[in-house]
Amino acid sequence: MEEVKNNSGQNLGIAALITAVITFVLAVIPCVGLIAIIPGIIAIILAGVGLSHAARNNSPRGVLIAGLIIAVIASMISFSQIFVVGKIAQKADKWPSGLNNIINDVQDKVTKDLDDANVSIKIESNGDKVEIQTNSNKKENEQTLEDLEGGNKVKADSVNKKNETVPKKNETVPKKK
């Protein structure tokens, strides 16, 4: 009965070692290196379970430790391939890097800000001063255009409320007596 218990740990060790060696061979082949992480994890689990069995039954651990070490190294090689693929993809401009994302974000923000920008130009020459003020507020401009065209009444009202002091073109301003 005791022998059976010892064998179970030993069998796990053999399985772990075989899986680990296969993982190692796969890990160093660039084409399939990434896939090797799956048998690598399996080998580590097998070796771990085998080691716990061996610790309980005081059975030899040589094969288990060998399997665990090879599995860990092979998994590390396999895992490193993720970085290799990432770097190659970055080089090939097919994987947007963090820097590219930041540039895109900044571009979007600048374009949005420009849509609502206020621009003022001041020119001074020989004591003469000319000041031009304009805003490129898209929404406001669109609304004003609609007002001028007399399209939407509700919107026109809201514009009037906003610019109560500014008289409209057609409106007559009451004269002060």
Partner 1 sequence: MRLFQRKNDLSQTSEVRFLNEPYLIINIIFAGVILLIFLYSGFFSPDKDSYPVICIHEKITGEPCVSCGLSHSFSLIVRGRIEEAYKWNTYGMRIFLFFALQLVMRVAFSYFYLKYPDTRKQLIIADCFGSGIIFFISFWPFMVSIFRSTFYV
Binding site for partner 1 (CB under 8 A): 7, 10, 13-14, 17-18, 21-22, 25, 28-34, 63, 77, 80-81, 83-85, 87-89, 91-92, 94-95
CA angle in degrees (0–180, nearest 5) for 46-72-35: 85
Residue 55 CB, nearest distance to partner 1 (Å)? 18
| Nearer of residues 95 and 148 to partner 1, judged by Cβ | 95
Residue 153 CB, nearest distance to partner 1 (Å)? 58
- Strands 118-125 and 128-135: what pairing? antiparallel
| Nearer of residues 89 and 106 to partner 1, judged by Cβ | 89
Residue 5 CB, nearest distance to partner 1 (Å)? 14
Q: How far apart are CA 152 and CA 169, in angstroms?
A: 17
Give the residue among 44, 45, 25 at the shortest CA–CA distance from 35: 25
| Nearer of residues 79 and 137 to partner 1, judged by Cβ | 79
Residue 41 CB, nearest distance to partner 1 (Å)? 18
Residues 121, 126, 128, 132, Cα dihedral to 10°: -10
Amino acid at position 162, single letter: K
